[in-house]
Amino acid sequence: MIKTDALIIGAGPTGLFTAHQLKLIGLDCEVVDNLDKIGGQCIELYPDKPIYDIPAVPECTGEELTNNLINQLKPFDIKFHLGERVDEVKKDNDNWIVKTNNGKSFSTPNVIIAGGVGSFEPRKFSPKECEKFENKSIFYSVQDKKVFEGKTVTIFGGGDSALDWAVELSKIAKVNLVHRRDEFRGAQATLNKVKELTSAGKINLLTKYQLVSVSGSSKIESIDIKSDDGETKNLKTDYVLGFFGLIMQLGPIANWGLNIDKKTIDVDTEKFETNQKGIYAVGDICKYPGKLKLILSGFHEGALAARACFKLARPNEKYRFEFTTSSKTIKDRLGIKSD
Amino acid sequence: MPKITYITHDKQSHTVEVQNGLTVMEGAVQNDIPGIDADCGGGMACATCHVYVKEDWFNKLPKKEDGEEDMLDMAFEPKTNSRLSCQLTVSDELDGLIVDIPSKQT
C-alpha cells in the first residue's frame, strides 16, 4: 500500500500542473494514468497541433506544452504510475483506498480526478459476440507475437499499427489484412511494403470490407466480412486483431458514487470538490456554472484543489499563502539557492 | 436560420434551427440532442460526433479533408455516407439537412 498526501488520476496538462501546485505547497503526490506515456490528450490526440491560448505562450504544440510541464516538475520527485487504470476508489475512515487494474493500491486523504474525458481504451469491434473471444482469439494489441506462429491471423485497420503488424506477422503467420476503404493512413514506406507482400502472396489484402460476425465455440473458427455493396465473405481464421485507434471512455469513474452528468463530474468552485469529501475533479472532466474546457481553466482548478488537499493532508497545520517570487520555503522546495 | 434534422437511433426526429457558422455537431450539443458525444470538442481528434448523411445530401456537402476520413476509420460502424458532424459548417445551403445518429459513438 502506497501512502501519499494526494493521488492524481490523469497525467494530462491539468494533472501535471496540479502535481506542481501540490509539491509547491509541501504535499507529496503520485500520478496514475492509463496511457503508457505522460501528456494525456495533448500527446495522444494532438501532439503536433498548435495551441494558441496558453497564457504567455503565444503558440506551442501539445507535445511542447507537455514537455514544458514535465520540465516544470523537474525540481520535484513525483512518482508516475503509467499504463495503469484506477479501477476502484473506496472510503476507509479518513482515507480513500485506491486500487489499479495492475493490483497497485494507494491510501490517501485526497483523490484528484484530472481524467479529461476518461481513460483511453482501444476501440473494439462492434458485433456483440466479439466480447467473449476477447483476449482469447481477438486482440487489440500484441503482447507476444509467438502465439500467432503458423496460424491464420486477420488484421483489421488502416493505420500504422495495422500495417506494421501485417508486415511483421506475415513472416510467421498467414495474414489477412482487412480495411474499410482503399486508402490507408499509415506511413507510405510501410504501405509500399504491404503492397509488395500482397503481390508476393504473403498478405491477403481485402479492402472495402468490415467485420459483421464471428463464429466458433471457445475459439474463433471463422469470420464474416461484408463489403460496401453487400457482398459477404467467410474467412477461416485463428486470430483476429483490431487496430482502430483509441477512444476515451469514462470507465470505472462512473462507479465511485460521484454526481456525473454527460461524462462530467459536478464540483464546487472553491475546492473543486465533488459530492464526496476528499475527491476533487479538475480539467475537462469537471463541471460547474460557466465551466470552460480550456487548459488554462484546468490549471486554475488544480491550483485551488491542491490548497483544499492541504487541509485534509495536514489537519493540524494552517495553510499559508506564499508567492514563489518571495517565499524562501518555496524556493527551497524548488531547489533554488537564494542569495 | 437553417433547419437541421437529427434522427436518433430510436428513430426520433429532432428538427432544430442552427445559426449559420456553427457546426452540425454544435447544433446537436447546444440543443441537447442525444447521441453526439463530441469528446474532443470539434478538433477532428476523435470520432464521437459521427453521423450518417442521407445520400441526396451527402453529395451536396463540401468534400472531406484528409484527416476526416482517417478519423472515420476509428468511428463506430462507419459507412460510405459517414461524416464527422464537427466538420459540417451550417450555412443557408444546408437548410433542411437530415443526419442519422449512429446507435453509439464509442
User: Does B88 reside within a domain?
Assistant: yes
Cell numbers 503481390 label which residue?
Answer: A199
Read off the pLDDT of residues B15-73 as tens digits, 9 standing for 90 and up: 999 999 999 999 999 999 999 989 888 888 888 999 999 888 999 999 998 789 989 98
Domains by residue range for chain A, with CATH: 2-121+247-334 (3.50.50.60), 124-244 (3.50.50.60)
Instruction: Report if residue B55 sits inside a domain.
Output: yes
Question: Which residue in the set A185, A247, A249 is minimally distant from B70, CB to CB?
Answer: A185
Q: Give me the pLDDT at residue A214, please.
A: 96
What is the tally of structural domains in chain B?
1
Is residue B29 in some structural domain? yes
Contact with chain B for residue A119, Cβ under 8 A: no
Please count the other Cβ atoms lying within 10 Å of the Cβ belonging to residue A297.
17
Query: Cβ contact (<8 Å) for B45 and A46?
Result: yes
Instruction: Give the model's pLDDT for residue A305.
Output: 98
Nearest residue of chain A to residue B36 (CA atoms): A262
What SS3 class is residue A198? Answer: helix
DSSP A218: S
Distance CA B44, CA A16 (A): 24
Q: What ipTM, to 2 d.p.?
A: 0.78
Residue range B78-99: mean pLDDT, rounded: 95
Residue B28 lies in a domain: yes
Vertex A324 angle, CA A320 and A326, to 5°: 85
DSSP string, A53-108: -BTTBS-EEHHHHHHHHHHHTTTS--EEEET--EEEEEEETTEEEEEETTS-EEEE
Residues of A in contact with B48 (CB under 8 A): 247-248
Q: Say what angle helices A13-24 and A295-313 make with each other, to 10 degrees.
A: 40
Q: Which residue is associated with the grid cell 496460424?
A: A151
Chain-chain contact of A249 with B74 (C-beta, under 8 angstroms): no
- In this complex, how many residue pairs, one in chain A and one in chain B, have their CB atoms less than 8 Å apart? 53
What is the predicted pLDDT for the residue at A120? Answer: 83
| CATH number of the domain within which B23 lies | 3.10.20.30
Contact A293 B41 (CB under 8 A): yes
Assigned domain for B22 exists: yes
Give chain B positions within 8 Å (CB) of A159.
Answer: 70, 73
> For an interface test with A, which of B30, B39, B73 has the most A Cβ atoms less than 10 Å from its Cβ?
B73
Global pTM reads 0.80
A248 falls in which pLDDT band (50, 70, 90)? confident
pLDDT digits (tens, 9 = 90+) for A29-72: 999 999 999 999 898 878 888 999 999 999 999 999 999 999 99
Residue B61 lies inside a defined structural domain of this protein: yes
The pLDDT of residue A338 is 63
Residue B19 in any domain: the answer is yes
A50 touches chain B (CB under 8 A): no
SS3 B92: helix
Q: Which structural domain, as residue segments, surrounds residue B39?
A: 3-100
Stretch A155-183: mean pLDDT? 95
Mean pLDDT of A166-172: 97
Task: Give me the pLDDT at residue B4, please.
Answer: 96
Mean pLDDT, chain A, whole residue set: 94
Query: Is residue B105 situated within a structural domain?
Result: no
Residue A173 has pLDDT above 70, yes or no: yes
* Closest residue to A46, CB basis, from B37, B43, B79: B43
Is B38 an 8 Å CB contact of chain A? no
Average pLDDT over residues A129-133: 94
Q: Note the pLDDT tens digit of each residue in A177-226.
A: 999 999 998 899 999 999 999 999 999 999 999 999 999 999 999 999 99
| pLDDT bucket at A119, cuts 50 / 70 / 90 | confident
State how far the Cα of A125 lies from the Cα of B35, in Å rounded to an integer.
Answer: 19
Out of A180, A228, A249, closest to residue B73 by CB: A180
B73·A247 Cβ contact <8 A? no
Asked whether the beta carbons of residue A49 and residue B45 sit closer than 8 angstroms, the reply is yes
Q: Cβ contact (<8 Å) for A123 and B73? A: no
Phi-psi region of A107 (alpha: psi -120 to 50; beta: other; left: phi over 0): beta
Residues 77-116 of A with CB under 8 A from B: none
Rounded Cα distance between A207 and A204, Å, is 10
Mapping DSSP to helix (H, G, I), strand (E, B) and coil, where does residue A265 land? strand
- Residue A339, pLDDT above cutoff 80: no
What distance in Å separates the CA atoms of residue A141 and residue A161, rounded to the nearest whole number?
9
Record the cell numbers describing residue A88, joined without a space: 476502484
Chosen from A117, A209, A295 to mutate, greatest number of chain B CBs within 10 A: A117
- The distance of Cα A191 from the centroid of its chain, to the nearest Å, equals 28
Round to whole Å and give the CA distance between A62 and A51.
7
Q: How far is A44 from chain B (nearest CA, A)?
A: 9
Task: Inspect the interface and report whether the beta carbons of A180 and B37 lie closer than 8 Å.
Answer: no
**What is the identity of the amino acid at B30?**
Q
pLDDT greater than 90 at residue A234: yes
H-type alpha helices, chain B: 24-30, 55-58, 66-72
Question: Which three-class secondary structure state does DSSP give residue A227?
Answer: strand
